[in-house]
Structure 1
Amino acid sequence: MELGLKDKKVLITGGSKGIGAAVAEVLTEEGAKVGVIARGQEALDQIKDKLGVAVYQADLSRHSERERVFNQFMEDNQGIDILVNNVGGSNGGQALETDMDTFNEAMELNYFASVHFSKMAAMAMKEQQSGSIINITSVYGRESGGKITYNNAKSALISFTKGFADEVIKYGIRVNSVAPGSILHPTGNWQRRLEENPEQMKKFVSDNIPAGRFGRADEVANVVAFLASEKASWVVGASINVDGGQSYMNF
């Protein structure tokens, strides 16, 4: 399907590995002009060599770094059409065993970074009366499971998605989120767990994923590409599960 993304200016946070890298690849194939932000320079160099995308090194847990790198992208591209907020990470353990600094760190990276980039991008998109923002969340932001710090932050991001979508759609800006289930990719936690205990992971898949396998990063990326395009022009404030049936929710 021709998605009409040729020459669109795209910024992807946390885009050097995993789902973010898959999004960068799919959007590059669609002809978009993609910029990727990540903390690790080596992974950035690798994706630049592979895809020819622009790369930006920054620690997105820091407010000043987010502003610096966004301004650099805007200077390089003279605008932004699509923002994909993918940056995130899991930390902590059970709530009683996790200190408040760890909760704050989880919110800063998984929630506030995406809110901050969304606000900056929307101000630019407002001027052109068009744009698309996609937040990568998680099925565990919609129901219990996994680490509580991560789940809290992703739940907040899903809520922000709907609230912000309603606020900015009048400017032609669509905001949506994609909630992946268990996605297998070389740098992810599921790959590590599979290598450590393949039998346990086989049972996990059998017990929890009706489709009978882990998801792939490109399967998430394809949904992101659709949401970024005008083919999704009437999708506003949605949270779309991409999980092979893993979620227990009815919607």
Structure 2
Amino acid sequence: MDLNMKNKVVLITGGSKGIGFEIAKSFLEEGARVAIVARGKEALSEAKARLGDILTIQADLLNEQERANTVEEVVHHFGTIDVLINNVGGSNGSTADETTMDIFREALELNYFSAVHFSKLVLPILKAKQAGAIINISSVFGRESGGKITYNNAKAAMISFTKALADEVIKDGIRVNSVAPGSILHPSGNWQRRLEENPEKINQFVKDEIPAGRFGTPEEVANVVLFLASEKASWISGATINVDGGQSKSH
């Protein structure tokens, strides 16, 4: 299937490893021009070595100015932006009672406010061409309990933001959607670490909680992101699509 992504400029936050890396790889395979931004210099170098013709940007995405600088650098290098993938994220804290307010704020800044800010930064570019797509990587735990409370809260906010922004900008030719992965296994992720620490417990979790009977892969998430960014998804706006092998309890 030709997704008409050739020469489209795609910016992916948190794109150096895991799901973000596979999203970058999938767009490159479709002929897109790809920029990834992440904090870790070593991971960016490894991604560059594996992916080849890609723009890598090192930035702390908790910092507003560095987000703005990132968008400026992508536009300076490629001339425009067609697709934004808000993928950067992370889990912190513990219970609500034991988690400080600073940790709650940091979780929102990384998982949610970064997506809001990057979206606002690229909107003038997309509105000028009356075309484009923004895809937010949320989580099934943005719809129900299961992960850490700070992460759940931020991902729930992201799902709400996706629908609100989508309704606002669809008239400008811009589609905003979200993907909600379930438990995805990759070398740099939490599930890999937990699996190594306690394989019996984690294998039981998979058996009990994931109807498909296995973890998902980053490639399976990337495939859905690629579709949503393409013209084949022209009538999908404001949606959050579960990619979870049936894990989510929500309808």
Provide the C-alpha distance between the structure 1 equivalents of 2:47 and 2:34, rounded to a whole number of angstroms.
Answer: 11
Shift, 1:121, TM fit: 1.0
Shift, 1:145, TM fit: 1.2
Q: Any gaps of 5 or more consecutive residues in structure 1? A: none
- The superposition leaves residues 110-147 of structure 1 with CA deviations (integer Å, 9 ceiling, x where unpaired) of 00000000111111100000000000000000111110
Provide the C-alpha distance between the structure 2 equivalents of 1:164 and 1:90, rounded to a whole number of angstroms.
Answer: 24
**Residue correspondence of structure 1 range 41-56 to structure 2 within 5 A:** 41-52=41-52, 53-56=54-57
Provide the C-alpha distance between the structure 1 equivalents of 2:20 and 2:135, rounded to a whole number of angstroms.
Answer: 12
Provide the C-alpha distance between the structure 2 equivalents of 1:71 and 1:187, rounded to a whole number of angstroms.
Answer: 29
- The superposition leaves residues 80-114 of structure 1 with CA deviations (integer Å, 9 ceiling, x where unpaired) of 00000000100000000000000000000000000
SS in 1 for 2:69: helix
Letter in 2 for 1:171: D
Provide the C-alpha distance between the structure 2 equivalents of 1:141 and 1:58, rounded to a whole number of angstroms.
Answer: 26
Letter in 1 for 2:28: T
SS in 2 for 1:119: helix
Provide the C-alpha distance between the structure 2 equivalents of 1:142 and 1:66, rounded to a whole number of angstroms.
Answer: 27
Tell me, yes or no, if structure 1 residue 155 matches structure 2 residue 156: yes
Aligned position for 1:9: 9
SS in 2 for 1:89: coil
SS in 2 for 1:215: coil
Tell me, yes or no, if structure 1 residue 224 matches structure 2 residue 225: yes
Provide the C-alpha distance between the structure 2 equivalents of 1:68 and 1:54, rounded to a whole number of angstroms.
Answer: 14
Provide the C-alpha distance between the structure 2 equivalents of 1:147 and 1:239, rounded to a whole number of angstroms.
Answer: 20
Letter in 2 for 1:25: K
Provide the C-alpha distance between the structure 2 equivalents of 1:70 and 1:36, rounded to a whole number of angstroms.
Answer: 11
Provide runs of 4+ in structure 1 moved above 6 Å: none
Letter in 2 for 1:147: K
SS in 1 for 2:97: helix
SS in 1 for 2:36: strand
Tell me, yes or no, if structure 1 residue 196 matches structure 2 residue 187: no
Provide the C-alpha distance between the structure 2 equivalents of 1:69 and 1:136, rounded to a whole number of angstroms.
Answer: 19
Provide the C-alpha distance between the structure 2 equivalents of 1:146 and 1:87, rounded to a whole number of angstroms.
Answer: 17
Provide the C-alpha distance between the structure 1 equivalents of 2:174 and 2:87, rounded to a whole number of angstroms.
Answer: 18
Tell me, yes or no, if structure 1 residue 29 matches structure 2 residue 29: yes
Shift, 1:45, TM fit: 0.7
Shift, 1:157, TM fit: 0.4
Shift, 1:156, TM fit: 0.2
Give TM-score scaled by structure 2 length.
Answer: 0.99
Aligned position for 2:178: 177
Aligned position for 2:101: 100
Aligned position for 1:69: 70
Q: How many residues align?
A: 250
Q: Any gaps of 5 or more consecutive residues in structure 2? A: none
Provide the C-alpha distance between the structure 1 equivalents of 2:188 and 2:48, rounded to a whole number of angstroms.
Answer: 17
Letter in 2 for 1:7: N
Give the fraction of aligned pairs with identical amino acids, expressed as a percent. Answer: 65
Aligned position for 1:109: 110
User: Cα RMSD over matched residues?
Assistant: 0.5
Letter in 2 for 1:15: G
Give TM-score scaled by structure 1 length.
Answer: 0.99
Shift, 1:59, TM fit: 0.2
Shift, 1:70, TM fit: 1.1
Provide the C-alpha distance between the structure 1 equivalents of 2:30 and 2:123, rounded to a whole number of angstroms.
Answer: 23
Shift, 1:77, TM fit: 1.1
